[in-house]
Structure 1
Amino acid sequence: MDTFDVRSLIVTVDDLIFSHRGEHLDDIEQAILKGVFDHEKYAEIAKHTKRSEKYIKYVAGRLWQSLSSTLGEEVSKSNVKSSLQRYYSNFSHSNIINSIKINKGNICTGLSENELKQSNPEQQAKIEIATELMKEGLSIEQIARVLKLPLELVKEQIQK
């Protein structure tokens, strides 16, 4: 896997983990992901990071547990790539469906062009995610910051 793909996947996993536990990936977790994506054994990852294999396995286990909780399926070293692919495939499909519903609804209600522009499908998808993040224990302020949405908009959505 080329360097750009690995960095993209690490950023993606970092976002998922942050939404789950409110903390970003640390250097060891990032090294584990890079190693796994490059088909390395835990012993090789341990050597690169100058840590024991036992410690790498421990940190990896925590990482797979967090991803399992976040993705809603059992995640391990052997299936992390396919789990992430399924998640993003479903997420993208869901966003497309939601965008169609949102746009169709806007046309049917006769909103002005200005109101249509404000009704950004990406923002609508983020608002829908806000309730899920609230269930995961994030505060409204954290959700607004993570999703890069106005605090008032998130508060309004959560109260619905």
Structure 2
Amino acid sequence: MGILSDFFVATPEEALRYANRIEEPDEGDEIEELLDPVQYKRFTDLEITTLWAILEGSDWDVDRHALEYIEIGEDNEAWLNRFPDELTTLLARLEPESQAAVLEAWAGTEELACDPAELQPVVDDLQRLASEAAASEKSVYLWGCL
């Protein structure tokens, strides 16, 4: 099955509701419909922070490039991360003429090692979510599960 990776825009309260939706099925359908996440597989905070370093034009740094970890309970198979505002801004401002180079660099990382075209929809979605988050004064979140 692999790693599930859901990206969405939310307030902190909505993000926690989303992360805990499996434990409360009635609540789960409602919050999933409200947040309308984009769903992928294989993305963790490592892949996203690698993208952050690429967008910045810098080397990846474990201390500098870190998503905010949000405690969601004792289930070690699921996690919730908030994109820092700086990353959200970089994604929202990514120029179309820069996107090909970003995709090429990200696809060439050891963690992904794939065709850049496979990442195009992911970057498009992240850029859209980042713009939405900036406009609504909310944050982009990554919920993941093994």
TM-score normalised according to structure 2 size: 0.35
Q: Which has the larger radius of gyration?
A: 1
**Higher share in strand:** 2
Higher relative contact order (CA 8 A, sep 6+): 2
